[in-house]
Structure 1
Amino acid sequence: MTSKIPFYISVALIIAAGIALSIFRHQNYGVPWTPGETRQVWDIEARIEFNGQDKPVKASLAAPHTQSGFTLISESSSSPGYGVSYVQTDTGRRAEWSIRNASGPQTIYYKTQFLVDPQANVEPLEPSKEINPPTFDGPVEAAAIALIERANERSADDITFTRELIKSLNDPDSQNSSLILNNMSKVAAVDNILAYAKIPSKLVGVIELEDGRRRQTIQQMNQVWDGKQWILFNPSNPGQLFKENILVWDESNVSLLDLIGGQNSQVHFSMIVQEVSPSQATQDKVEADGLLNFSIHSLPLEEQAMFKTIMLIPIGALIVVFLRVIIGLKTSGTFMPVLIAVAFVQTQLVTGIVGFLLIVGTGLVIRSYLSKLNLLLVARISAVIITVIMIISVFTVVAFKIGLTEGLSITFFPMIILSWTIERMSILWEEEGAKEVVLQGGGSLLTAVLVYLAMTNPFIQHLTFNFIGLQLIVLGGILLLGTYTGYRLTELRRFKPLAED
């Protein structure tokens, strides 16, 4: 007897592969598990204003990039007459504008779109090994050393050291803090003291995302390297900053805007948020990150719409296998109910059931007449096909004439499958009687209705369309059901007398 262990191992591997593919798509592409979820996209516009001095102008603005929690999906510029380019420098990405001559008030717009993305892929830039400590005046240096010693005593690493330092600087009773803050701002004080203590850190410019906000200016904060990533700190807040609406715009640690040929420059930010569907968010993320996307979303929209229905058929097949193998429900044909359910999806349930009963009922009457002619099988089936087409045509025209526009969708029924169904039921009627026809026809219709309810479920539609790995899980389930050799539930009634005895 052949061992089934390799079979069960193969099924386990298929199911595991399906689960792994689904988890990978969720974590790397950000596809949600449930339908109805929306993703946020922030439109952020930087407005650069300055006065031209009637000579060549070159403006360089620090440009943001994909970071933890946010994926940059697009950027554009509106600057009539200016040349624009996006360059990578030693201090990070920058957007540069240039023009041969500019005079008077000038305005340049730079717009970006960020997808709120918890799975954003970003490789942090490690700090340089060399740290140049600043030079303090005598009293200020003594105060800085005192704050460093106090923070060292109450900390265990660079992150907790920074937290304790910020607490000390925000202590109104600390004379050392007051002395230092008389000469510099809090953000500069934190940066200088961390550099003096040889702790990797840098100044960054951040903006706080708030829907509908206008003319917001950039804020300076501190970032500290913890060995793996940069941790953001607000020098005015002793607690560590974990706000999800904080976007790091300028990581250059040099300047937000460099301007040559102009004066009185200002940079203001405006922002709005919009909700997008998961499919649109996934497409934007794939294009932004350059990911290799093997999902259905990479196809043209017309093909996507087609596959949205095709990917539901395995779910129908799983239901049919379960009903026939475990329940023991009889159907006319193996997977005819699945195709009928697909037609129900197009016609709606009530219209589909009425159309199915009318077509099959009328077809059986005509087929009973054809059986008396003793035709060959091929000719008889061809005649039934033509008859079904004529029945559908007549019902459609009649429905349209009496104002039942729902009846127009009856053309979605698979004509060949209906023809074979009528042929099989007619033969079954002659051999087994009307009772068996009702059992198989009713079982087919019940199965089609159950498959229709599954196919129209928003949760199932979302999973089948967005997670290709689900098809492998369904395949594994069907293979396992195929090994069942026990009694079907409908057969148990035969043993009812034994249970009563």
Structure 2
Amino acid sequence: MSKRHLYLLAFSIIAVALSAMYYKWSVLKFPLQPDAQVQVWTVQAHVEYQPRTGANTVTLQLPSDVPGFTVLDERFVARNYSKLEESGEGGREVQWAIRRALGEQDLYYRATIVRADDSQALPEAELEPVIPEPAVLEEPYATAAQTLLDQVRDRSSNTITFARELLGRLSEASPSEEVALLRERFGEDDVARSNFIVQLLANRNIPARVVYGIRLTQLERDPDTRMQSWLIVHNGLGWTMLDPRTAAEGKPSDLFEWSRSGEPLLVIDGSPASALMFSVRSNLADAMATAERRLEVQDANLVRYSLLSLPLQAQETYRVLLMVPIGAFIMLLLRNLVGIKTYGTFMPVLIALAFRETALVAGITLFVLVVGFGLLVRFYLERLRLLLVPRLTAILILVVLLMAAVSVLSNRLGLEVGLSVALFPMVIMAMTIERMSVAWDERGAGTAIREGVGTLVVAALAYLIMSWHPLEHLVFVYPETLLVLFAMALLLGRYSGYRLNELLRFRALAREPDPIVPPPAADDATNDATSQSKA
């Protein structure tokens, strides 16, 4: 296989992995940091009313598919009431019903919301541009409305400018006679004023609706802010939101739309004395839990077929297992590029996993202690001239007994760290003792000790990197990171150049001239000088 094919494969894998990571970060909002937090809001609607004798039915409009926000959780509190949810054009509603109620009644709806990305579909495009019933006014209000609409038409160029001019005229500080008369008609109530404007626009065949919403940032500055009404006007191509108080065009980024169905927020049979109160509380929540919940609301399959769907115990297991390739890649760099020699290929990674439970200093101490005593026993067994398999079995038995003895002694001395020696892989420890003793006999004590120290250095460095909490979070949330390491391992698999320790080892030779092929430039210069002197 050519290098071009290998490079194409590796960079294709890297591109796919980085694309998947970018999608999860930008669209699914998975956090890069383990302690990242996002702002969430808890919006509560409180219905309070005096029931009538007999059956009572309460209907409350609810948020649905809010553009710019995602409803993470909903709670309904209505004791002894039946609950029925219905969805319709522009929103949904809940209907509470009870056969008999005594005393003041309190019903609650609570929603936890978070900001959503801009790619969420906007529901206003799905609304049909229906023209509502025009305003039916008696004199002199009918003449005043007709005169005002004619004046607004002369000062506008299209549907949106017509609606904005009408809102501006109705909000003037020094109103004209027509506006002052119409103000007496709809009063000072914000909702009644918005509904009256919708009826006036219907007189000119302009589709419009009343939208109820809450300014979240405004509530943080002013806790007494209440639910406000807004207008959406259809210009023939789409809906445009207008502020009926300022005639400003466009939807504020902090507006949480509660309902755009055009129906009253609260309807109670018999119209008894009632009150609808809203409260909003802002706090910070874990970004990972919020992203997971948002994903469940938008597309549950993306959660079902991911590591996030596993039980918590299995998730903790995979948090450790996914760090093993990280340690293996560190070992690859240290062995193939730096040139550190170790016992075994993946033994340092397994030792690093044991260091996660014992801590670094205590783990190195226990490792040296067990391997040191094991070497003494191995040298004694060498004199017995045992075969390989029986000798390894004997070493394994003695390693287990030695680990048990260290744990018992540590327990008696009150040293809890000694109890962690049982976390070391016993078979790997036995193989380390065997390999170290063979290296001691064949290549000398210096080589054996040097490779043992190299094993500990690689294990310690792998432990430091594998136990870094931000990296552990990144690999678990973005397992595509391992595909990047896989591609880099493929690229390093073709590297056959010098290692770093070889460059340091032979640096003196690089400064000396080649004794076999002398520099030709110097000879040519000498010959030229001799020829000139003879001439």
TM-score (norm 2): 0.84
Equivalent residue number for residue 451 of structure 1: 462
2:449 to 425, 434, 438: 438
1:93 aligns with 2:92: yes
Distance 1:500 1:59, change over 3 A: same
Range with bigger deviation, 101-110 or 121-130: 121-130
Say whether 1:285 aligns with 2:305.
Answer: no
Task: From 420, 431, 444, give the equivalent of 1:420.
Answer: 431
Alignment of 1:144-293 (within 5 A): 144-152=149-157, 158=160, 170-172=171-173, 175=176, 181=183, 183-184=185-186, 187-188=194-195, 191-192=198-199, 195=202, 200-209=207-216, 210=219, 217-224=226-233, 232-237=241-246, 239=248, 244-261=253-270, 263-292=272-301, 293=303
Post-superposition CA distance 1:283-319 (Å, at most 9, x none): 3223323421232111000100100111111111111
Separation in structure 2 between the aligned mates of residue 499 and residue 196 of structure 1, nearest angstrom: 93
SS in structure 1 of the partner of residue 101 of structure 2 = strand
Deviation sequence 1:198-250 (CA, Å, 0-9, x none): 55542111124446998864221223568998665433245556655432112
- Secondary structure of the structure 2 residue equivalent to 1:52: coil
- TM-score of the aligned structures, taking structure 1 as reference length: 0.89
Aligned length: 496
Residue of structure 2 aligned with 1:372, choices 377, 383, 386: 383
- Secondary structure of the corresponding residue to residue 104 of structure 1: coil
SS in 2 for 1:29: coil
Give secondary structure in 2 for the equivalent of 1:394: helix
Aligned to 2:529: none
Aligned partners of 1:369, 1:145: CA distance in 2, in Å? 111
State which structure, 1 or 2, has the greater radius of gyration over its C-alpha atoms. 2
For 1:41, what is the secondary structure of its paired residue?
strand
- How far residue 59 of structure 1 moved from its aligned partner, in angstroms, is 1.0
What is the identity, as a one-letter code, of the residue corresponding to 2:145? V
Pick from 482, 498, 501: which aligns with 2:509? 498
Q: CA deviation at 1:182?
A: 5.2
Q: Name the amino acid aligned to 1:304.
A: Q
Q: Structure 1 163/340 Cα, relative in aligned 2: closer, same or farther at 3 Å?
A: farther
CA displacement at 1:10 relative to structure 2: 1.8
Contact 2:230/2:243 (<8 A) preserved: yes
Contact preservation (8 Å) 1:72, 1:113 = yes
Gaps of 5+ in 2: 513-535
**Structure 2: which amino acid aligns with 1:205?**
Y
Aligned pairs (5 A) from 1:296-445: 296-445=307-456
Superposition pairs for residues 22-33 of structure 1, below 5 Å? 22-33=21-32
Tell me how far apart the structure 1 counterparts of residues 292 and 46 of structure 2 sit (CA, whole Å).
Answer: 28
Higher deviation after alignment, 349-358 or 226-235: 226-235
| Structure 1 residue matching 2:507: 3-state secondary structure | helix
Amino acid at match of 1:267: L
Q: What does residue 49 of structure 1 align with? A: 48
| Structure 2 CA distance for partners of 1:174 and 1:460, relative to 1, 3 Å | same
Q: Is the Cα contact below 8 Å between 2:27 and 2:117 reproduced in 1?
A: no
Q: For 2:225 and 2:99, locate their aligned partners in 1 and report how far apart those are by CA, in whole Å.
A: 30
CA offset digits 1:409-465 (Å, max 9, x no partner): 222211111211111111111111121122211211111121112112232112101
Cα separation, 1, equivalents of 2:11 and 2:258? 47
Please state which structure has a larger fraction of its residues in strand. Answer: 1
Tell me, in whole angstroms, the C-alpha distance in 1 between the residues paired with 2:251 and 2:463: 46
Unaligned runs of 5+ residues in structure 1 are: none
**TM alignment of 1:65-76, pairs within 5 A:** 65-76=64-75
Greater Cα shift, 457-466 or 3-12 = 3-12
Q: Distance in 2 between matches of 1:12 and 1:231?
A: 46
Q: Answer whether contact 1:20 1:469 (CA < 8 A) is retained.
A: no
Q: Is the contact between residue 22 and residue 467 of structure 1 (CA under 8 Å) also seen in structure 2?
A: yes
**Amino acid in the other structure paired with 1:271:** V
Counterparts in 2 of 1:489 and 1:81: CA distance versus 1, 3 Å: same
Q: Is the 8 A contact 1:56 1:261 kept in 2?
A: no
Q: Distance in 2 between matches of 1:238 and 1:79?
A: 39
Secondary structure in structure 1 of the residue aligned to 2:53:
strand
Could you say if the C-alpha distance between residues 429 and 228 of structure 1 is closer, same or farther in structure 2, counting changes exceeding 3 Å? Answer: farther
Cα–Cα, structure 1 residues 494 and 191, in superposed 2: closer, same or farther, change >3 Å? Answer: same
Residue identity in the other structure for 1:38: Q
Structure 1 letter corresponding to 2:157: N
Identity %: 32
Supply the distance in 2 between the matched residues of 1:198 and 1:373 (Cα, whole angstroms).
Answer: 106
The answer to whether residue 112 in structure 2 is matched with residue 113 in structure 1 is: yes
How has the CA–CA distance of structure 1 residues 434 and 62 changed in structure 2, closer, same or farther, with 3 Å as cutoff? same
Q: Which amino acid aligns with 2:322?
A: M
CA displacement at 1:488 relative to structure 2: 1.0
1:84 Cα shift?
0.7
Query: Which residue does the alignment assign to 2:77?
Result: 78
**Partners of 2:117 and 2:196 in 1: CA distance:** 32
CA positional deviation for 1:262? 5.3
**Does the Cα contact within 8 Å between 2:66 and 2:258 map onto a contact in 1?**
no
Secondary structure of 2:314's counterpart equals helix
